[in-house]
Amino acid sequence: MKIMIFSYSKVVLFLFPKQGSTWMSAESRRKFIKVLATSAALSPLVGTLALSSESDESNKKLLKKSTCEYRLLRHAAAVFDYHGQRFLIDPMLNRIVNNVELPVTNGELRDILTSLDAVLLTHAHADHINLESWHINLLKDKPFFCQSSADGTYLESLGMNDVRVIGEKATFNDIDINKTGGQHGVNTGWNVSGFVFSAPGSEVVYIAGDTTYAQEVEDALDTFKPNVTIVNSGAVGPSNNPWTMTAEDVRSVAIQLPSTHIIAVHLEVHPNAKITRSELRKFTEENDIASRVRIPNDGDVIDLCELSSTSDIDFVTNAIGVHPNPFSEQVAFDVPGTLVDIRIMNLQGKLIAILDRPFWNGEDSNGREIPSGVYIAFVHTTEGRYGQKLFKY
């Protein structure tokens, strides 16, 4: 295999033996390529990078410094490739849980654990971490990020040697990891956190963790404006006090930040889950957000770079004229093209009205005046789809 790195003034040529060579193992090759791809010293002279046909797909991914890929294992456990680093999220790795088996063999799982750069535990509930002794042996010297000293103490009791408790923010190899809040149900007393990954030239990815749609989630969306938001759904827990996001909560995320793409996981494993993948997919279709919500099956891989580069909603402040805004009695829309419809929703994801005209008089579909507050208008025209916040007083 041959790798050429071109710059304006010089050519640097690295030669590798073919796969199967006795003096450099596949793992050694992988690690060397990874160092090459992420080296601050080499990055200024990298212009074009070409691989021969002998290169395998995993090496191709590692050579892309901005690679951003999410592979769901099961429930909330996932392999997250981000900015040249590989993270394992919420390692519940026991072979079978509630008749749901991991989508990888033990050999494949061993390769994954060996290739990791770090692990992130969003919180230490049993459905987010379950490790056998051989898992621990492979993970014990990896950087292991967590939300609190209590979770850190638990990880140390398992034998982890490099536990890193995140306060407000941690930095790992040019990656900022900001901790956010959440609500794992109302008055449950459970401490949970979300985490926002950001790095120069990479997508902003928000892993919301085990939370319902709460003020903490809304604040994180407003503050970090993630390209991709990964939510734990399933409506796990009591119907009157769910612990994770309901279908309506997923819709609220979509409404709050129309530019974000959503990946909904945490489905079809927990015994107290209330919705399935098929039910959530049907809900997203009925609520016109299916193109922005991905619901992967166990083992699916999602290219977040490609995902965040496509959108059916052009959400730019004042992308369409809205006047007056704030408004009291009526607001008008200057829509491009021919109007298809306008859907008005509140911040909790409830549909208020569907309009076939380019103005709204502040009433719901039954002709009742709605209270003052913030609403979202989803405008569908022959030219595209748009989103705009409306302020009624």
Q: Are residues 206 and 235 in the same domain?
A: yes
347 versus 215: the higher-pLDDT residue is: 215
pLDDT digits (tens, 9 = 90+) for 195-218: 999 998 888 999 999 999 999 999
Question: Is the same domain home to 58 and 139?
Answer: no
Whether residue 78 is found in the same domain as residue 54: no
Mean pLDDT for the stretch of residues 333-340: 90
pLDDT at site 240: 95
In a shared domain, residues 283 and 198: yes
Out of 117-131, 210-224, 318-332, which region has the weakest mean confidence (pLDDT)?
Answer: 318-332
Question: What mean pLDDT do residues 239-263 have?
Answer: 93
CATH number of 319's domain: 2.60.40
The model's confidence at residue 51, banded by pLDDT at 50, 70 and 90, is very low
For residues 136 and 278, state if they share a domain.
yes
Contact between 156 and 65 (Cβ < 8 Å): no
Q: What percent of the chain has pLDDT over 70?
A: 80
- 195, 244: one domain: yes
Task: Tally the domains of the chain.
Answer: 3
Predicted confidence band of residue 1 (pLDDT cuts 50, 70, 90) = very low
Residue 380: band (very low, low, confident or very high) from pLDDT cuts 50, 70, 90: confident
For residues 124 and 168, state if they share a domain.
Answer: yes
Q: Domain boundary residue among 13, 28, 62?
A: 62
pLDDT per residue as tens digits for the range 76-105: 999 999 999 999 999 999 999 999 999 999
pTM of the model: 0.69
Q: Where among 293, 311, 329 does a domain terminate?
A: 311
Asked whether the predicted pLDDT for residue 2 surpasses 80, the reply is no
Domain extent, residue 330, equals 314-392
- Confidence at residue 318, expressed as pLDDT on a 0 to 100 scale: 40
Same domain, 267 and 384: no
**Same-domain pairing of 29 and 150:** no
Q: Same structural domain for residues 50 and 103?
A: no
Residues 367-388, mean pLDDT to the nearest whole number: 86
Residue 160 shares a structural domain with residue 15: no
Can you give the pLDDT at residue 192?
A: 97
**Confidence (pLDDT) at 27:** 47
Q: What is the pLDDT of residues 125-160, one digit of tens each?
A: 999 999 999 999 999 999 999 999 999 999 999 999
Residue 196 contacts residue 205 (beta carbons within 8 Å): yes
Q: List beta partners, residue 367.
A: none
Do residues 248 and 206 both lie within one domain?
yes
